[in-house]
Amino acid sequence: MKKTVRIAILFTFACAALAAFSNFAQAQKIDIAFGVSTTLAPGANSCSGNCEINQSLTGGAYPGVSGDVLFWHNLGVGADVNWRGSQGAGNYFNELGVNYRPVFYNFNAVYAPKLASHVYLELVAGVGAMSTHLYECSSCGITGGSSEVASSTHFDGDFGAGLKLYLTKGFFIRPEARVYLINNDTNFAGSYATRVGGSIGYTFR
């Protein structure tokens, strides 16, 4: 968890640096947001006999931070990191004697046209990685393991959309959905996951 918090802090500083760079780049808008979401993914494979049963990536609360810069005709770039807030435990990982925590990192192209007064569509697509951190657990089935024992990282591509609804001149809420296409991830059932949730953020103009 400490490692994840450090990553989130570094990401926040990166967003601040991006904001400082905006004057030089003459960016039109800079968004910084914090949110919570959950994941939907294929169910665990079922089989009989001597076979491995993978864990579904579905479920859990994912805090996250994101930032983007729009610099030309509603086009720009952005980045986000989202991590499972608590360590997960399931049939597959129980057999290994570990808990797990996935973390998604992504860098995206962003297109955010205005739909109506105080309403903007946000379309994103890009690349990144999903990193799964494993923790030893004294009583698997109960979340909250101790030290990290291993991790594995897999390339992903992502795309999705959100709807920015401005409450005031700068503050907005953003319901959002993101699909991750995960390369060769043998830790979980299926090769994709969908993250759905919402964020609250601020636009610097």
- pLDDT (0 to 100) of residue 48: 46
**Which helix H or strand E contains 20, and what residues bound it?**
helix 2-25
Say if residue 34's pLDDT is above 90: yes
Ranges 52-66, 77-91, 143-157, 174-188: which has the least confidence: 143-157
Q: CA-CA distance, 184 to 171, in Å (whole number)? A: 39
The full DSSP string for 106-145 is EEEEEE--EEETTEEEEEEEEEEEEEEEEEE-SSTTSS--
pLDDT band at 28 (very low <50, low <70, confident <90, very high): confident
Q: CA-CA distance, 60 to 198, in Å (whole number)? A: 14
